[in-house]
Structure 1
Amino acid sequence: APLAGEPSALWLGAAAARVALLLRSEAYTLDGPLGGNLPSVCEVAVLPILFLLGRDTLRRAPFTLAWVVAAAACFARRNHLSLADDAHADALFLFAHSLEFLASFAYLLRSALIDVPRGDVSAGFAHLLMPVQQALAAYYWLQAFDFSPTLVGAGLPFEALQIGCCAQLGAYLGASALHFAEVLDRNEASDGLALGGSHAGAVAM
């Protein structure tokens, strides 16, 4: 499944960074009806699930993942917001987004290269949900969160978040297009085989 393997290993790192951020600062907690403790509980609850989905990649390529994590951490140190009055907490937020950015393209590659078993409902649901979820994030960073120079801690964090979210949306839309194109192709092939079988039966009679 496209969710397993490399994407889950990267999402695991992002979720761990978000948990560390929640423990370090409350500046990045969500407001509104979906705020409060619910997001924190969800971030903690998803950790073992992501570990199970990504454990094969963690065993197979630990050094590669370590280099990827180090590169994401370096990028986050050079490009982060200034909401928490704590450079480490601010960098953790961009670090999580950086890993999610990489995970989205790993998800796209797995969708392109791995055959999903016929009738896999979970894969179809994931391909529907991921673009919707990412579209909300892209809308937030493009429209709802206004640029302010006082919120820039280092580098170009607003640009990194906006471009990154849009690129992730494109990756998830691409993965969905590949998946549903494959589903349609399989259905057409099955219909063709069924039609051919019925014609053969009619001729035999």
Structure 2
Amino acid sequence: MIQAGLDWALGVGLVAGVDEVGRGPLLGDVVVAAVILDPKRPIIGLQDSKKLSEKRRAALAVEIHEKALAVCLARASVAEIDALNILQATLLAMRRAVEGLALQPVFCQIDGNRVPPGLPCPAEAVIKGDGKIAAIAAASIVAKVQRDSEMHALHRRHPEYGFDRHKGYGTKQHLAALLTFGVLAEHRRSFAPVKACIANQ
């Protein structure tokens, strides 16, 4: 059940929901969104982005950008993922998303079980928060729509890999394409399947 969160209910002030997309794939940036919703402009149908159709996610993302008080998309690059590891790169991108908001929140609710260090405000981690807290759900939708659009763009450049379908995750199709066509600049070289492919070339 999606809730508004502790922000407006307790009169705390501006509270941001934060979520990431792209920790698991073998290539591409990890993308994070931070969203501060406007209680005066409710958005119907917010939910964990993975439980929504692509068409519904796209429509909601437009509505979120239109109605939210603030939205910021941030990322950590493939180079940063390979240098730092995916967890530390994700936490870095989360901090960038919060710092990039046009309005500064007094509190953040972060999807998952880790609070990024160095945030400009107090925060709490909410396990499976994208299915519990509206602002986190909104962040998950915005981040997924952004990253999926990037995967579609990459597919247009390299259709043989099938990025439009698997979005960079390590599916059988993707692993077979890696072996056949090789590693792209966008691949995460620190990830085991990509590392193994490089070693066998």
State TM-score, norm by structure 2: 0.24
- Larger helix proportion of the pair: 1
- Larger strand proportion of the pair: 2
Structure of larger gyration radius? 1
State TM-score, norm by structure 1: 0.24
